[in-house]
Amino acid sequence: MDLQLNGKTALVTGASRGIGLAVVRALAAEGVRVVAAARNPTPEPAAAGVKAVAVDLSEPASAERLVTEALAELGGGLDILVNNVGGGDGGLDGEFLDVTDAQWAQVLDLNFLATVRVTRAALPALTTARGSVVNVSSMGARVPHGGPVPYTTAKAALTALGKALAEEFGPQGVRVNTVSPGPVRTDMWESPTGYGAGLAAAMGVPHADLLAGLPQATGMLIDRLVEPDEVAALVAYLASPRAAATTGTDHLVDGGAVKTA
């Protein structure tokens, strides 16, 4: 299917690896001119012909700088914003009472407020273009007991933000949608220093065994983790003119893990 994205412009945050990198590749393959933002850019976006920008979005002033640089790179216009920045769940495999104020602030800032700031900075250009925002949340927003409480709480706020922005900016032609993946085959689960490894250690099981049992343990109806490309395909569709009547929605890509409507 031609997504009618050729010649459009996009800014993708959290774009160096995993879901973000898959989104960058999916959009670039459709002919979108993309700026890929990440704290530590990797060579892969440049290999796809994409401009990579180093930025730490946990710093409040960085959002304005990023959007200014992206607009300059893209010729002043912006059709698509994909807010994928997030994480910070490493070291949060303890119970609620173990989490400090500093950890709460760090996780909320990266997983929620960074998106608030980037979106706020980008909305004037998106309004002019009658563009589209896609936020990458998590199925944890719907099952908050299924992950670190600060992380799932921040993702729940992110999902709510998408619906609120769709309502406010819909009359100005801006669509806002959310994609909520389940366990995805990314460093969050697979890295020996990531959340999955920490969780396995806390449970006293080998990391490989935790990953092998994760689909069943989370209630997935498929026997594997979700692939980043599968999430990226939905993000690209929602960002495209093919989804012109879709806004204010939250789409699960979780292999059937969440059972409620």
Dihedral of CA atoms 122, 124, 129, 134 in degrees, nearest 10, equals: 40
Catalytic-residue membership of 151: yes
Q: Among residues 151, 169, 195, 237, which one is catalytic?
A: 151
CB 161 within 8 A of CB 113: no
Catalytic residues: 151
